[in-house]
Amino acid sequence: MPEARETGPAGRWIGASVRRVEDRYLLTGRGRFVGDQEPPGTLHLVLVRSYAASATIESIDAAPALSHPGVVAVITAADLDGVAPLRGVLDRPEFVPTDMPVLASGRVRHVGEPVAAVLAESAYLAEDAAELVEVGYGELPAVVSAGDALTAGAPAVHDAAPGNVLVDVTPISSPGLDEIFASAAHVVEVAVSTGRLTAAPLEGRACVAAFDERTGQVILQTSTQIPHTVRTAVAQSLGMDEHQVRVISPDVGGGFGQKCVVAREEVLAAAVARKLRRTVKWVEDRREGLTSGFQAREQFYRVRGAFDGDGRVLGLDADIRCDVGAYSCYPVTCGVEVLMAANELPGPYRVRSYRARSRGIATNKTPIAPYRGVSRPQTVLAMERLMDEAGRVTGLGPVEVRDRNLIDAAEFPYRNVMRVSYDAGTYRESLARCAELLGYTDWPAVQARALADGLLAGLGLSCFVEPTAYGTASFGLRKMTIVPGYEQATVRMDPSGSVLVLVGTHSHGQGHATAYAQIVADAVGIDPGRVRLRQGDTELVPHGWGTFASRSIVAGGGAVARASADLAGQLRAIAAHLIEAAPGDVELAGGRAQVRGDPATSVPVAELARVAHHAAHLLPDGLGRGLEATASFDPEGTFSNATHGAVVEVSPSTGAVRLVRYVVVEDCGVMINPMIVDGQVAGGVAQGIGAALFEELCFDAAGQPVSGSFVDYLVPTAADLPDFEIHHLCTPTTRTPTGSKGMGEGGTIGAPAAVLNAVNDALAQVGAAVDRIPVRPADVVAAIAAARGADLGRAAIGGLAGSRRET
C-alpha cells in the first residue's frame, strides 16, 4: 500500500495518500448513523411481513396487537389512502412496469413483503405486538425459479405479465452473424450461472422520519446513497412538493448499491410520521436485511463465440436471463441488470458482430436492485470462461488468446460494437503485467509439483473494462423516466480562508471528504485540512444523484474541480487587485497568493478571504462580496480496466478451495488518493470472492428464504482471503478535469471470473469443470465424481489417492 502521508508529492495534493479526515470521528465512536438518532417520544416501527411467497391477503386483525402495552397504532394499506406505490419505469415497449406497494394490498408476492406496520413506544414492544397481528393468507402456488417462471402455464407473478417476462430486450443483432458462426474455424460455447446475492452492508437500512409542525415538512433521516432521489420518491408517493420533504443521510455504514434505490420502508416511515405527527424510527434487523432487503445477481448466460483459425473472435451470440424477483425497484427498475448484461458483455475485447437477448423474469422472490458492479461480474464471468475455453480449443492458452483479442492501445478511443466510446486504457499491458506477476510461464511446473503433493492447483485470469460514471446521455438511452448523471458542487470560502464543499454525491466509506479536499487544495493553494465536506442533506447541498456506479470522483470530483477553478480565479483577481498585478500572473500555493516568482508580493489566502467578506469596499464591483462558486459536470463516461489473477488450491477429497494468491493490475487513470483506491479495490475483490466461493441466498421449493442469518449467508472473513497484491498502471483520461476514472466496482467485477477460472484450471487436471458460482465444496466434489463417472481423468485421480493434503 502507498504510505499514508500528510503532505503532497511535488507540491500537489492529488496523488498523495492523505490520511482520511473521516477516520478521526469514525474511529472514536463519534460517527452518527441513523440508528443512533432517537429523540424523546420516538415511535418504533416494526413490520409485519408476509410469510407466504404468493398469496392473497384475506384478512388482517390488528386488535390483539393494538391492545398490547405501548402500542400506538397498527398501519395497513387501508390506512395509507393516497400514498402511491413506488413505480420504476423504463419508457420502452419491451418493459412491463410493476407497482411496488408501500404496504401490500390484497396480494403478496414474496416472503418478507411488508403487510402491516406496528408503532409502539419501544422497539421491544413493537416486536411483541407484530407477532400478534393476525394476517389471513390465501396461499397461491409460487414461482420460485426463472426456469419455472418461463414454463408454459406457470402462475403469473403479475397479471400484466402473464409469461412472467418483465423485460425482454435485443439491443443488438449484427447482420450476418449466423453466417459468421457457420463458417468460423471454431465455435465455443459456455453456459454459466450465478447465485442470488445481497449487498449486506454492515449497517442495515434504517430511517427516522419526523413531521415538522412549524414548516409542514416531512424530515426523513435515512441510510441512503441517494438523498435527492429519495426526496423525489417520497414527495411523489405522498403527493407533496419536493420542498415539503427534507432528506438527510448522515453517516452511512456501507451501501454497495442496495441503498441506491428507494425502499418501501423509507416511504412508509415518512407517510406514518405525517399521519401520526410523530417521530417514527425503523431499523432493519439482519434477518429482514437478508430476506427482505434488495437482492441481486441471479443470472444465467449461454454465450457462443465464433473464432477464426488464429483465435480471433469474430462474433458473439448471447442469451441472458435475470431473475429479478417480484417488483421493479425505483428508480432504476428491474431492467438494470437486464440491460447492462446485454450492453456490456463484449467488454475489453475486439468484438465486431454481436447478438444478445436479455430477459428479466419475475419470480416470487425479493426484488433486485443494483449491487456493486451490477451485471458486470456476470458478463465478465461469461466472457472469461469463453476466453479460457477458446484458449483451450485453439491451443493458444488463456494468455495468448486474450492478448490477441484485447483492444490495443493504438485503437483508443475505441468505439465498440454497442457504439460506446472507450477512452484510453492498458488492456493488453495489464494482462501482460498480471501474467508476469503470477509467474505464468512457470505455471505448468508449479501445478505439476502441487499435483505430486496431492493438491489440484489452478491459475485463473480475468480481464475487464469497467464502464463508470454514466452521464445523462447514457442514462437517457435506458429510457428511465428520471435520468441521473450530472453532479453539482458548490465551493464556498469563509472569511478565515477555509473552504466548505457542498455536493450531491454521498460518501459512505469512499473517503470523499478527503479526496475532494485534495482536489480543492491543489486548485486553491491551501492545505486540504482547511477543506470540509457537507453532503447528504437535500436542504443544504445542490441537487445531485448520490453515490453509485463508480461515479463520484468523476462526476462529483469533476464538479468540485470546476468550482474550485472558478474560486481560484476569484482569489487571483482579488490578489491581483490588492498587489496591483495582472490576475494571470498570480499563483496560489502554500496558502498564499503571489506574483509568480516574487515572494515579496505574497499575501495569505486567508487575507484575501477576509477582504472579500469583511472589507469588500476595498474591491471593485464584481469582486468579493462573498467567495463562492458552483459548477456542474455531466460525464461522458470513463473506462477503467484491469486484469485480475487468482491462484487456488483445491482439495480433491473435501472440495475446499483455498485462495493462495490474488493479483490485481488496474488502470483508473489519475488516482486522487492511492490509499483510498487500493481500499476500494481490496473491498471489491473481497466481495467478488464472496460471490465466487461463499455467498448465496437460498430458497426452498415454496419460495421460503433459508439464508436468514450470517450463519447461512457467508460473508467472507479475514481467514478466507489472502493478502491481495494490487498494482497500478496509469492512463489519465482526457474526459474529466482531474484525469481520474471511476473505479469503485472493479474489484467486485473481476474477482468471480478469476476465481472460477482458477478452480477450473485446477479441476481440468482431473477432467472436471464447474460453471456456477458460488463454487461450494459439494459442487467441486460432485464435479470430480462426475468426471470420474465419465471415466475422465481416472489416472490423475488415482494418482492422488492416499496422498491428499487437505486445504
532 binds other proteins (CB under 8 A): no
Q: Which of residues 64-83 bind other proteins (CB under 8 A)?
A: 69
Are the CB atoms for 487 and 562 separated by under 8 Å?
A: no
Q: Which of residues 295-314 bind other proteins (CB under 8 A)?
A: none
Which of 641, 614, 634 has the alpha carbon at shortest distance from 626? Answer: 614
| Cell digits of residue 571 | 482569489
227 vs 346 by CB, closer to other proteins: 227
Which of 242, 352, 263 has the alpha carbon at shortest distance from 85? Answer: 263
User: DSSP letter string over 5-21?
Assistant: BSS-GGG-STT--BPPT
Query: Between vectors from CA 26 to CA 20 and to CA 29, what angle results, nearest 5°?
Result: 155
- In 369-524 the beta strands, taken as DSSP E runs, fall at 414-415, 421-422, 456-468, 487-493, 499-503
d(CA 304, CA 749): 21
d(CA 144, CA 135): 22
The whole-angstrom distance between residue 341's C-alpha and the CA centroid of its chain comes to 14
96 vs 682 by CB, closer to other proteins: 682
10 vs 719 by CB, closer to other proteins: 719
150-189 footprint of other proteins as x/- string (CB under 8 A): ----------------------------------------
Q: Least distance from C-beta 521 to other proteins, angstroms?
A: 19
In terms of DSSP bridges, do strands 414-415 and 724-729 run parallel, antiparallel, or are they unpaired?
Answer: unpaired
- How many residues belong to the site for other proteins (CB under 8 A)? 61
Binds other proteins by CB under 8 A, chosen from 97, 114, 195, 204: 204
377 binds other proteins (CB under 8 A): no
735-754 footprint of other proteins as x/- string (CB under 8 A): ------------x-------
Binds other proteins by CB under 8 A, chosen from 14, 48, 184, 200: 200
Q: Using the 8-state DSSP alphabet, how is residue 744 labeled?
A: S
399 vs 675 by CB, closer to other proteins: 675
Q: Least distance from C-beta 204 to other proteins, angstroms?
A: 8
Binds other proteins by CB under 8 A, chosen from 461, 593, 682, 749: 682
Q: Least distance from C-beta 509 to other proteins, angstroms?
A: 3
Are the CB atoms for 439 and 399 separated by under 8 Å?
A: no
Binds other proteins by CB under 8 A, chosen from 10, 29, 152, 159: 29
Q: Least distance from C-beta 75 to other proteins, angstroms?
A: 24
Exposed e or buried b per residue across 379-389, where buried means at least 16 C-beta atoms within 10 angstroms of its C-beta: bbbbbbbbbbb
Q: Least distance from C-beta 762 to other proteins, angstroms?
A: 23
Residue length, the chain? Answer: 807
Q: Which of residues 630-669 bind other proteins (CB under 8 A)?
A: none
| Cell digits of residue 38 | 432517537
The window from 28-36, 83-91, 178-186, 310-318 that contacts other proteins (CB under 8 A) reads 28-36
The window from 171-179, 306-314, 504-512, 544-552 that contacts other proteins (CB under 8 A) reads 504-512
Q: Is the peptide bond before 413 cis (omega within 30 degrees of 0)?
A: yes
Distance from first CA to last CA of the chain, Å, rounded?
Answer: 28
Give just the sign of the alpha carbon dihedral 415, 378, 288, 252.
Answer: negative
| Cell digits of residue 742 | 471511476
525 vs 705 by CB, closer to other proteins: 705
d(CA 147, CA 159): 18
Q: Which of residues 539-558 bind other proteins (CB under 8 A)?
A: none
35 binds other proteins (CB under 8 A): yes
Bridge partners of 49, per DSSP, are: 114
Binds other proteins by CB under 8 A, chosen from 370, 652, 679, 742: 679
691-730 footprint of other proteins as x/- string (CB under 8 A): ------------------xxx---xxxxxxx-xx------
261-290 footprint of other proteins as x/- string (CB under 8 A): ------------------------xx----
The window from 29-37, 101-109, 375-383, 465-473 that contacts other proteins (CB under 8 A) reads 29-37
Which of 81, 60, 83, 75 has the alpha carbon at shortest distance from 119? Answer: 75
In terms of DSSP bridges, do strands 487-493 and 499-503 run parallel, antiparallel, or are they unpaired?
Answer: antiparallel
32 binds other proteins (CB under 8 A): yes
- For residue 637, give the 3-state DSSP assignment: coil
The window from 318-326, 339-347, 419-427, 674-682 that contacts other proteins (CB under 8 A) reads 674-682
196 vs 428 by CB, closer to other proteins: 196
Binds other proteins by CB under 8 A, chosen from 15, 201, 257, 669: 201
198 binds other proteins (CB under 8 A): no
| Cell digits of residue 440 | 505464468
In terms of DSSP bridges, do strands 657-667 and 638-650 run parallel, antiparallel, or are they unpaired?
Answer: antiparallel
How many CB atoms lie under 10 A from the CB of residue 176?
10
d(CA 111, CA 223): 23
Bridge partners of 246, per DSSP, are: 219
Q: Least distance from C-beta 205 to other proteins, angstroms?
A: 13
Query: Given the rule CB under 8 A, which residues bind other proteins?
Result: 1, 4, 19-20, 22-33, 35-36, 38, 69, 124, 199-204, 251-254, 256, 285-286, 508-511, 675-676, 678-679, 682-687, 709-711, 715-721, 723-724, 747
